Amino acid sequence: MTSMTLPLRIFGLSLVLPALAHCSGGGPEREAPAAMPAGFTYVDEVVPGVRTDLKYSGSDNFVGRPLAGYRGRRAILRTEAAQALRAAAEEFARHGCGLVIYDAYRPHTAMRDIAAWGRDSSDRKMRTRFYPRISKKQIFEHGYTHDISEHSRGVAVDVGLFDLKTGRDLDMGGHHDLLDPVSATDSGAVSPAQRKNRHLLRQVMEAHGFRNYSAEWWHYLLRDEPDKTLYFLFPVRDDMR
């Protein structure tokens, strides 16, 4: 990844953060108190029946441990994104499917944590499961992660589907955060049934205001988001009001 500076606002403060390759452990940010800012909500309070499996709250992710800022397991989004997700969930139910969330709002502190992990060339313990065909350096070079994330704006969500009758996850031809070309939504390396599941996910999500990131079948961004420059640091907790 080439070096550049990226202007952004965190809690209304104008900041300029260095690009990923130059992120440091310190910085002007300070983690906010455990309070949810106005305009955010727990997704399970808006979307009935949603299943939540926040991967960065545990160890089943490409870093192999909980990321900084994840202290709970309830998904959080901007209210507009949660409401759009509710409309999508209602349509999925008509197809016999439910929604499972792998990530939603992601504190910017987690992105700094990923940056620090990226600089540690000795830590490759999750490579076999999450990036088997690329090097750790290529995770950043290929754009699977960046120095900042739209997740930290509260308008991006990583989702999959499960069968409402059996409770089993629909087969998407690869798990969340498999950093590999096979994860592209239109990959020709998956079976017709797996591609059909991916396309159902995309069709319904896009019909309700989300846009898919083509390299990752699970990643969706709210098209009409309220503020594209404001990023947040408050932690993911289960007890905020």
CA distances for 138 relative to 45, 66, 143, angstroms: 38, 22, 8
Helix residue spans in the chain (DSSP H):
79-94, 108-119, 127-130, 136-141, 192-207
Distance CA 159, CA 85 (A): 10
Bridge partner residues of 14 (DSSP): 9
Catalytic-role residue among 45, 150, 216, 225: 216
Active site (annotated) includes residue 216: yes
- The amino acid at residue 88 is A
Q: Tell me how far the alpha carbon of residue 224 is from its chain's centroid.
A: 17
d(CA 97, CA 106): 25
Residues with a known catalytic role: 216
